[in-house]
Amino acid sequence: MKNRVLALILIPFLLFYSAEPILADEKEERMWQDESIYFIMVDRFANGDSTNDLDSDITDPRAYQGGDFKGINEKLDYIQDMGFTAIWLTPVFDNMEKGYHGYWINDFYNTDEHFGTLDEFKNLVEEAHSRDMKVILDFVVNHVGYDHPWLEDPSKQDWFHEDIGAVNWSDPESYQNGWIYGLPDLNTENEEVKEYIFDAAKWWIEETNIDGYRLDTVRHVPQEFWSEFSTEVKSVKDNFYLIGEIFDKDPRGIEAYTGLGIDGFVDFPLNEELRSVFQHVDVSMDRLPNYWKYSETFYEDPYLMGNFIDNHDMSRFTMLAEQNNMFPPTRWKQAITYMYTIPGIPIVYYGSEIALNGGEDPDNRRLMNFNTDEELIEYIGDVGQLRQELPALTRGTIELLGEDKGMLVYKREYEDETIVVAINDSSETKTIVVNATSLENNKELKGLLNGDFIRENNGEYSITLDRETSEIYALTEKSGINIGFILALAAVYIVFLGFMYMAWKRGKKRKSEQ
């Protein structure tokens, strides 16, 4: 009896939800430009196994602090719930003393004992893959740790460039051969060195089934090396992704390394624009669409570039916001909305989702705190989910629709899907009117974050947003009264009430017969 009543109550709600419009067709096969990456400094994220803490010291920002593979494994659901489809890990290889960050490599074929065993790393990759998440590993070929055993091996003296500091950043010979911060610079022109690095890079793919490499210090290694490297590693696994790091604020500095098999690069020029615009309000946003046009002339595939606001080598964006007397979570929401809805792969540095603070290295590498307010976490999850569901946000064209002193409106189009993004990053309510010729007549914009509806009126769409808010709209058919749905709903309720009346009468009859 109870089950029948429950079923009848649920029917109207099922009918209601089935009447919601479908915004996108079934997703196509996933491409790298569809991913969203969560960037983790392994030692500073989550401690899942205290037995490998060894000489860890959470009071020393330059010491190991306990993060490990098991800790990341335990937080995969947390990461996925925010909409991320891939994780990027700082180097996991065995490092020199206090090499918590992973960039002072001691052994290319072993994991760092503070992080866990090779089997534990393999298990992490398997668990990520079981959630349909990819794993990108940071790989360093330019240098090794300060006290690497090769330095004392007479047979490997020609494995290193001469011990001269990289001092002239305009001279390729200096920044490609010089020792950066005193780190022994590998002679990647040496055939033995190349073979060793190629073999190690391929071994990790074969042994652990990772999905990509983030390539550290790309500009400090000759272009010829990268061309060979990419050919070698991509021969092991189909669709293996290479994203390079070139610290240059001008796209022309990155352009020199395109066409070498590196799929994309972390976009430092874009990072400069994002941090400049979003750290405070009332900044003209013209520079952002101008950057679209400028950068696309230099990059091989702008959709495979890595969009980021924070990383482990710069002060946290939260600190910039606080220095401007801004509320960091709001600043983050605005910046995240933009970064997720333009061409490129969003990369979010761990802790950004809780507006983690921090200055220069190592202060920007604080321990993650999981006991915080979840409002920003939920917002990132909402935007991340939309990015997964709407192909226009990952594959579509991009076109400016309007800008007004801190408010920006643009559209993304892919096949029959049109998405409009509006960001009001000013200190007052603003309106931008979009001519219907830029969209379509007799349609409406349905807000996917806040549920707003904007109907075309006299050939215009009037988009109004409160200060420091954003909305992502889908262009849909105008909604109206669904007569068929209302009649069906009425019929269900009539049947339901009739059923309840009959049940009541039967119950009353039984009582009178007793």
Q: What is the mean pLDDT of residues 469-494?
A: 72
Residues 443 and 477 sit within 8 Å (Cβ to Cβ) = yes
d(CA 437, CA 209): 49
Q: What is the mean pLDDT of residues 266-271?
A: 98
Q: What is the mean pLDDT of residues 343-357?
A: 98
Those residues whose C-beta lies under 8 Å from the C-beta of residue 451, and which sit 6 or more positions away, are none
The pLDDT confidence band at residue 484, using thresholds 50, 70 and 90, is very low
Start-to-end CA span in the chain (Å) = 21
Tell me the per-residue pLDDT of 311-325, one tens digit each, with 9 for 90 and over. 999 999 999 999 999
Q: What's residue 168's pLDDT?
A: 86
Q: What's residue 394's pLDDT?
A: 98
Q: What's residue 335's pLDDT?
A: 98
Q: Residue 20 pLDDT > 50, yes or no?
A: no
d(CA 365, CA 356): 9
Q: How far is CA 331 from CA 127, 277, 336, 432, 460, in A?
A: 33, 10, 9, 21, 30
Residues 344 and 382 sit within 8 Å (Cβ to Cβ) = no
The pLDDT confidence band at residue 9, using thresholds 50, 70 and 90, is very low
Q: What is the mean pLDDT of residues 456-469?
A: 97
Tell me the per-residue pLDDT of 157-171, one tens digit each, with 9 for 90 and over. 999 999 999 988 889
Residues 33 and 503 sit within 8 Å (Cβ to Cβ) = no
Residues 142 and 216 sit within 8 Å (Cβ to Cβ) = yes
Q: What's residue 28's pLDDT?
A: 76
Q: Residue 16 pLDDT > 50, yes or no?
A: no
| Strand boundaries in 146-256, DSSP class E | 212-215, 241-244
Q: Which of 248-252, 341-345, 480-484 has the highest mean pLDDT?
A: 341-345
Greatest C-alpha distance within the chain = 106
Q: Residue 381 pLDDT > 90, yes or no?
A: yes
Task: Write out the H or E segment, with its range, that includes residue 252.
Answer: helix 251-255
Q: How far is CA 353 from CA 188, 249, 305, 334, in A?
A: 38, 25, 21, 13
Lowest mean pLDDT, pick from 126-135, 389-398, 465-474, 495-504? 495-504
Q: Residue 505 pLDDT > 90, yes or no?
A: no
Those residues whose C-beta lies under 8 Å from the C-beta of residue 492, and which sit 6 or more positions away, are 8, 11, 12, 15
Q: What is the value of pTM for the model shown?
A: 0.89
Cis peptide upstream of residue 21 (ω within 30 degrees of 0)? no
The pLDDT confidence band at residue 26, using thresholds 50, 70 and 90, is low
Q: What's residue 373's pLDDT?
A: 87
CA atoms within 13 A on the CB side of 473: 25
Q: Residue 6 pLDDT > 70, yes or no?
A: no
3-state SS string for 96-120 = CCCCCCCCCEEEEEEECCCCCCHHH
Residues 64 and 367 sit within 8 Å (Cβ to Cβ) = no
Residue 1's nearest CA partner among 501, 500, 490, 505 is: 500
Q: What's residue 502's pLDDT?
A: 66
**What's the alpha-carbon Rg for the chain, to the nearest Å?**
27
d(CA 344, CA 441): 30
Q: What's residue 398's pLDDT?
A: 97
Cis peptide upstream of residue 184 (ω within 30 degrees of 0)? no
Q: What is the mean pLDDT of residues 84-101?
A: 98
Task: Write out the H or E segment, with its range, that includes residue 391.
Answer: none
Residue 58's nearest CA partner among 25, 89, 97, 100 is: 100
Amino acid at 254: I
Q: Residue 492 pLDDT > 70, yes or no?
A: no
Residue 188's nearest CA partner among 141, 237, 149, 127 is: 141
Residues above pLDDT 90, as percent of the chain: 85
d(CA 307, CA 319): 19
The pLDDT confidence band at residue 478, using thresholds 50, 70 and 90, is confident
Q: What is the mean pLDDT of residues 3-18?
A: 40
Read off the tokens for 352. Answer: 């950004």
Query: Tell me, what DSSP letter sits at residue 27?
Result: P
Query: What average pLDDT does the structure give for the chain?
Result: 91
Q: How far is CA 402 from the centre of its chain?
A: 26
Reduce the DSSP state of residue 456 to 3 states and report it.
coil
Alpha helices in 284-390 (DSSP H): 287-295, 317-323, 328-340, 375-389
d(CA 144, CA 163): 13
Residues above pLDDT 70, as percent of the chain: 88
Q: How far is CA 384 from CA 189, 295, 450, 478, in A?
A: 42, 24, 15, 26
The pLDDT confidence band at residue 485, using thresholds 50, 70 and 90, is very low
